[in-house]
Amino acid sequence: MQQGLFGPLGSERYEEYATDINGSGKYLLGVINDILDMSKIEAGQFSLDREEIDLCPLIKETVRVISLQAAEKSINVETRIADAMRVYADRRAIKQIAINLLSNAVKFTGQGGKITVRARNTSGALLLTIEDNGCGIPKHALSKLGRPFEQVQNQFSK
């Protein structure tokens, strides 16, 4: 439908809706795959599909994924990534991690806030940071980070 396989949709708004539906379906499929991946990790059967990837277009793609959410809250998302930042990694895993971090940044950043995504080479390693001016994570809850299905509760969580 989005590609106009059966002819034009007739209105630009329908094309936008078709694009949104397609994107949402892909996102939902990604969530389902993440849940399946989590069960594979717990069973010790998960493998990474590593390849050389350019981080710059990948990060720009993830920023586009959350741009509508950010725009609804008038959040400015800025990227500071050097061109041709090549890394040997699992593309889907890096993208999902970045989307999760960016989604949380949008969720916990107030109206008119700012999110900055930076990537740089440091001592032969790549450093990716996602910084926002949101409410932050209390020190006592930092140990929960990275645990499956854990959430930090604070006054801004709901």
pTM over 0.85: no
Whether the pLDDT of residue 151 is over 80: the answer is: no
How many other CB atoms sit within 10 Å of the CB of residue 130? Answer: 19
* Coil, strand or helix at 12: helix
Per CATH, is 49-158 categorized as 2.60.40.1840? Answer: no
133 near 95, Cβ under 8 Å?
no
User: What's the mean pLDDT in 17-44?
Assistant: 83
Q: Which of these, 58, 136, 128, lies nearest to 104 by C-alpha position?
A: 136
Residue 49 or 141, more confident: 49
Domain boundaries, the chain: 1-47, 49-158
